[in-house]
Structure 1
Amino acid sequence: MQWTFLTDIAQVAEIKNQPGYSLIFKHSTRCSVSGMAKRRFEMDWDAIPADTKLYFLDLISYRNISAQVAETFQVHHESPQVLLIKDGECILDASHGDISADEVAEVINN
């Protein structure tokens, strides 16, 4: 699997409007907990169906996009955080130690 980097605020609207599943991983490059959560997620992400679109947001560099994600999907900002989007709606959000590729895969597969 491979990340698509969120670097343009217009991408948030694209995610909102696309069918199927998308996942946004919000990452703080200054936080060791965030780095650990990202590594753990990437070690297990093969459990996630291959057609799931994976987006990576460096929220230090793109704070405005992070704010737009929170507003668009009506979630409280956390870092690190994953948002699972289905048909434009956030159906799962998790942060810190609760971030799990296996849980994301389970939600998608059920």
Structure 2
Amino acid sequence: MNLFKKIFNSESTPKEPQFEIPWIPLTDIKQLDELVELSKTKPVLIFKHSTRCGISSMTMRQFTGSYKYEAAQIQPYYLDLLSYRDLSNEIAIRFQVLHQSPQLIVIKNGSTVHAASHYEIQAASLERFI
């Protein structure tokens, strides 16, 4: 049994440091004005997520597992699509992106500089906006 623990024990395997994503929940349309202002000093990302969708959940896990940025570099916002569909629709209009789920939108200087959905969502793609 000790042999198996030595071979398969994940605690002894070195791991990449995990970053805790400092999500700000998007719950009110007024926050969109705030994030536009913030985007003038640092990039802002909006992650639109459907809590009932398997693809969205898988994408969220992959994204959070490879996220390596601090709040000083980029500010992440999280939108629960099922609870705030009207807000999601306003984001689509205001930032001129077709609504999709899951979806990652990057705002810089008040404008959309990147939008991705489904399997195109990659934390590494944020590097070029920081």
Fold conserved between structures, TM > 0.5: yes
The separation in 1 between residues aligned to 2:35 and 2:90, in whole angstroms, is 12
Deviation of residue 14 (structure 1)?
1.3
The separation in 2 between residues aligned to 1:42 and 1:87, in whole angstroms, is 25
Q: Is 1:66 the counterpart of 2:61 in the alignment?
A: no
Q: Which residue of 2 aligns with 1:81?
A: 103
Q: Which residue of 1 aligns with 2:54?
A: 32
Unaligned 5+ runs, structure 2: 1-20
**Aligned counterparts, 1:4-43, within 5 A:** 4-18=24-38, 19=40, 20-43=42-65
Q: Is 1:55 the counterpart of 2:101 in the alignment?
A: no
Deviation of residue 2 (structure 1)?
1.3
Once the two structures are superposed, residues 72-104 of structure 1 have per-residue CA deviations (whole angstroms, 9 ceiling, x without a partner) of 100000000000111111100000000000011
Matched pairs, number: 107
Between structures 1 and 2, the one with greater strand share: 1
Two-structure CA RMSD over aligned residues (Å): 1.1
Is contact 1:12-1:65 (8 Å) kept? no
Q: Residue 79 of structure 1: SS of its match in structure 2?
A: coil
Work out which structure has the larger RCO, using CA pairs closer than 8 Å and 6 or more positions apart in sequence: 1
- TM-score normalised by the chain length of structure 2: 0.78
- TM-score normalised by the chain length of structure 1: 0.92
Is contact 2:50-2:102 (8 Å) kept? yes
Structure number with greater Rg is: 2
